[in-house]
């Protein structure tokens, strides 16, 4: 069994592999960790994540152990370059109102023949947005809280940081950076405060409106299409809401129109420019043809 087969065997598992545990022991030779079940954590496309628990002065603590880029066949130099942009990207998102968990320590290494970033991060909440929306026992007010905080943060971007541009055949309001904004990447803490938890790969944009780092190993969409859904206000809202209403309606077996009515009322309360809100409403009413067109143009 070669290395790729070994990775595939573990790809859907959250429990660290023996080789990952050996690297963990190099970082923390004196601390004994227990790997907890991945309660509340959705499986990611670009990282493997485990919950580790340890005891310090009779107090039990938890930390997230991330292996960014696992299985993506990144070179060591590419992984190092991506790691160097994590802090600048984190700082920029925080300036625009996103709450980001603390990254205690990261290091880049050549692991199983590919570049990976091992990261130890603060654990917030007890379930990401995808798990909450997909759990019929969760109350609707928790779902609306996720929707509200996500879109209010987008609506508060200073006008000076935004500009209109054409992306994927549509005039949209471009953001100063990209966000992989989906349900699995937002986590409400115990007090309801929402965190954005996935910074890999960092979606920075340069002065010319182009991706600072774009890696075909990480993203299947062409560059402009990725800008449309991750770096425009209309694209991020439409992508996030379509995911939310789809999972929500399936979970509770209710009509999408009932959920959609409440969202459209909330959308009006954001006071977005009419060119944005009108386009969002039109796309929702007609079944998201712009998103469908963007996602149909996969990188070959």
Per-residue model confidence as pLDDT tens digits over 2-59 = 434 433 443 445 789 999 999 999 999 999 999 999 989 998 888 999 999 999 999 9
Q: Which of 99, 101, 115, 85 is nearest to 51 (CA)?
A: 101
Helix 76-84 and helix 86-95, axial crossing angle in degrees, nearest 10: 30
pLDDT of residue 4: 42
> Cβ–Cβ contacts within 10 Å for residue 120, how many?
18
Contacts 24+ apart (CB under 8 A), 142-145: 142/188, 142/192, 143/244, 143/248, 144/262, 144/266, 145/188, 145/192, 145/194
Q: What is the pTM of this model?
A: 0.93
Peptide bond before residue 289 is cis, with ω within 30 degrees of 0: no
pLDDT of residue 298: 59
Which residues of the chain are under the pLDDT cut of 70? 1-13, 298-300
Q: Which of 48, 30, 29 is nearest to 38 (CA)?
A: 48
């Amino acid at each position: 069994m070669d290395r790729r087969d070994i990775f595939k065997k573990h790809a859907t598992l959250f429990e660290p592999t023996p080789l990952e545990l050996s690297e963990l022991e190099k970082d923390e030779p004196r601390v004994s960790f227990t790997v907890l079940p991945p309660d509340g954590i959705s499986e990611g496309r670009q990282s493997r994540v485990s919950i580790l628990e340890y005891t310090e002065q009779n107090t039990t603590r938890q930390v997230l152990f991330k292996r960014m880029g696992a299985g993506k066949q990144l070179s060591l130099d590419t992984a190092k370059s991506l790691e160097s942009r994590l802090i600048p990207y984190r700082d920029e998102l925080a300036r625009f109102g996103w709450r980001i968990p603390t990254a205690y320590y990261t290091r880049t290494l050549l692991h199983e023949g590919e570049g990976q970033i091992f990261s130890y991060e603060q654990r917030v909440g007890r379930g990401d947005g995808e798990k909450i929306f997909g759990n019929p026992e969760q109350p609707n007010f928790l779902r609306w809280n996720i929707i509200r905080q996500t879109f209010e943060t987008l609506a508060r971007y200073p006008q000076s940081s935004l500009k209109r541009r054409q992306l994927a055949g549509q005039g949209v309001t471009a953001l100063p950076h990209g966000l992989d904004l989906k349900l699995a990447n937002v986590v409400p803490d115990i007090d309801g405060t929402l965190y954005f938890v996935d910074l890999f790969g960092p979606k920075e944009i340069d002065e010319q409106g182009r991706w600072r780092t774009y890696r075909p190993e990480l993203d299947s969409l062409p560059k402009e299409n990725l800008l449309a859904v991750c770096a425009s206000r209309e694209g991020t809202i439409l992508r996030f809401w379509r995911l939310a209403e789809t999972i929500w309606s399936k979970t509770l077996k209710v009509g999408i129109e009932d959920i959609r009515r409440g969202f459209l009322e909330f959308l009006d309360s954001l006071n977005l420019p009419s060119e944005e809100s009108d386009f969002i409403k039109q796309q929702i009413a007609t079944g998201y043809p712009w998103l469908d067109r963007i996602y149909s143009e996969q990188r070959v």
